[in-house]
Amino acid sequence: MECVVGSRCWTFTKWVPLKASSGLSLENGGVSVGNGRGGGGRMGVCGRGRVEVGRSGRRAVARCSLSGNSMQFVALHQLSEWLSKQGFPSQDVKLTSFGEEGIGLAAGRNFKDGETALKIPENYTVTGVDVVNHPVVSAPAAGRGDLIGLTLWLMYERSQGENSVWHPYLKTFPATTLSPLLWSAEEQQELLKGSPVLEEVQQRTAALEGEYEDLLPFFNKDTQTFPEEHFSLAAFKSAFSMILSRALYLPAADLFALVPFADALNHRADCQAYVDYSMEDQAVVFQVDRSYKEGEQVFTSYGRERSNADFLITYGFVDENNAMDNLELEVGLVAGDRLEVLKRQILQQSMFDSPQSFPLYLDRFPTQLLTYMRLSRLQDPALFSKIVFEKDIMLDQANEYEVLMILMGECRSRLEKYEGGVDDEIRLLKNKVETLSQYTLVYLSGIHLYTVFHLFLLSEYFSKP
C-alpha cells in the first residue's frame, strides 16, 4: 500500500506522543533530532508577502504589509488623520511601531480579559456589498466570490490614484507581496521542491491565471476604464495577493472584509482573540483574551489549527511557537484485499474513510494512524475483534513490523524528494535574498517532520520484544 500526503484530515482525540528513545530527545515540549530541519505542512488558500520568522519565546508576528518602515508609518499616521476627519469613532488602541515586529496596535488604556478593544462601524469597511454596488467592477466581479471581487475593487481604486476615496487607506498597502503565487516557476520549483506546498502553489497559480483569462474580455472591451498598466496579469496577481494579505474573514457575517485599523493586529501563537462582526452593533469588533496594560501590544490569532506552511502561504511568516505545525499522511486499504469489504465496514463504524488523512506533528500523531495501518495489513479475521481505534494495541508482531516498515519506507521516500543535506539548505538560506530565502523554511520543515516521524518509527521498531 502506498501512503501519500493528502488533504486535511478531521480532528483526532487520541494522540501518541513521540517518546525520547533511540536518539530522540524532548526539548521544550517538542522533539529535536540531530541534523533535523525545519517545520511545515500543507498550505492554505494563498500567501501574505514578506516573511517574518518567529524567534524563541512567544513573539508576535507582524503582517508583511505592516513591516514598520518610515514611509509606511507616515502613511498610517495620515490614515488615522483621514479616518478622524471622516467621523471614524475613536478607538481604545492606537497604531504603534514595535521595532522588528513592525506596526501593531497598542493598548490606549488598561484592558481586562473580555473587554472590547476595537469597534469599527461597517460603513468604514470594504466588503462584497461594496463590490456589488461599485459602478465599474460590479459587472466583471459578478459571481466570482469575495476575494476576486475585492481584488477587482483594489485594482480599480489603485488605478484612480489620489482620486480614489480610499486613497489614504490604500497608501498603507505595499506595492506587492512576496507570496509564492508571485514567484517564477523556477523559484517555486527550487525553493519548494519536495514539499507538498509546491503542488498546491502551482495549482493555485494556474487557477489564478485562468481566472484572469476569464476576465480579459471585460478589460479588453474598455481599455480606457481598464488600462493595461493597472489591469495586467501581473497587476491582477499582485492585487489578489494583497487582498489575501489584508482581508479579514468575519465568521458571523460569512464574508471577507478590508477593515482599517483591525488589519494592523499582529498574530501571537498563544492568543485566542479573533476579529468578527457583531450584528447587534453593526460593526467589526475585537475583544481581548487577556489583560493588557496601557502601551502594551494587543494581539490576535490568525488561526490556532494551522500549520506553518499554511501560515507561510497565507500570511508570509512561519512561527516557531506553532504547536499545530504538521504534515498530513494519507493512508488507505490495499486494493484487491480479500478482506476489504469487512475492513471497510470496521472503518465506517468508526467514522473513517479509505483513503484517510492523518496529521503528523513534531511531538505527537493520532493513535488512530497506527490502528488504521494495522487493520489495512491484517490478514487474520480472528484478530478483527482487537481493533480499537481509541487505544494503541499491537495485534501481532508480524503485523506490527510490517506497518512500521511501510511507514518508514514512506518517510524515506518523502525525504528523498528533498535534495541535499542540512549544510546545503543553510547555504541556500544564506545565498538567497533574505526575504525570499526564508520561504525555504517550509521546505526545511517538511524534512524535519518526516525525519522526526521516521526516527520515532525506527525507535519503535527496535524497541519491540
User: What mean pLDDT value characterizes the chain?
Assistant: 78
- Predicted confidence (pLDDT) at residue 10 exceeds the cutoff of 80: no
Which range (113-117, 166-170, 325-329) has the least confidence?
A: 325-329
DSSP readout, 221-285? H-TTTS-HHHHSHHHHHHHHHHHHHH-EEETTTTEEEB-TTGGGPEE-TT----EEEETTTTEEE
Can you tell me whether residue 297 is helix, strand or coil? strand
Q: What is the mean pLDDT of residues 157-171?
A: 94
Per the omega criterion (within 30 degrees of 0), is the bond before 355 cis?
Answer: yes
By C-alpha distance, which of 109, 79, 116 is closest to 276?
116
pLDDT at 409: 83
380 pLDDT band, cuts 50/70/90, is very high
Which one, of 28, 42, 1, 19, lies nearest residue 455 by Cα?
19
pLDDT band at 11; cut points 50, 70, 90? very low
Residue 3 has pLDDT above 60, yes or no: no
Q: Give pLDDT, residue 188.
A: 85
The single-letter code of the amino acid at 311 is F
Q: What's the whole-number mean pLDDT along residues 156-176? A: 90
pLDDT at 187 exceeding the cut of 50: yes
Per-residue pLDDT band at 5 (split at 50, 70, 90): very low
Give kind and range of the element (H or E) at residue 287: strand 283-287
Q: Which domains does the chain show, CATH number per domain?
A: 15-41+325-463 (3.90.1420.10), 64-308 (3.90.1410.10)
Distance CA 465, CA 461 (A): 9
Enclosing H/E stretch for 449: helix 440-463
**Better-scored residue on pLDDT, 219 or 188:** 219
Q: Once rounded to an integer, what is the mean pLDDT over residues 292-302?
A: 95
- Contact in structure between 459 and 23 (CB atoms under 8 Å): yes
Give me the amino acid identity at 381: P
Model confidence at 18: pLDDT above 70: no
* Site of grid cell 513534531: 362
Range ranked top by mean pLDDT from 113-117, 186-190, 391-395, 452-456: 113-117
In percent, the amount of the chain with pLDDT more than 90 equals 46
pLDDT of 19 reads 39
Query: Which pLDDT score, from 0 to 100, does residue 20 have?
Result: 32
Residue 456 or residue 269, greater confidence: 269
pLDDT top residue among 7 and 194: 194
User: How many other CB atoms are found less than 10 A from the CB of residue 180?
Assistant: 27
**Band (416; pLDDT cuts 50, 70, 90):** confident
At 119-144, the pLDDT tens digits run 999 999 999 999 999 999 999 999 99
Rg (CA), the chain: 25
If one compares 305 and 401, the residue with the highest pLDDT of the two is 401
pLDDT digits (tens, 9 = 90+) for 32-89: 222 222 233 222 223 322 223 333 334 556 555 454 566 777 888 888 899 999 999 9
- Choose from 25-29, 327-331, 336-340 the range with maximum mean pLDDT: 336-340
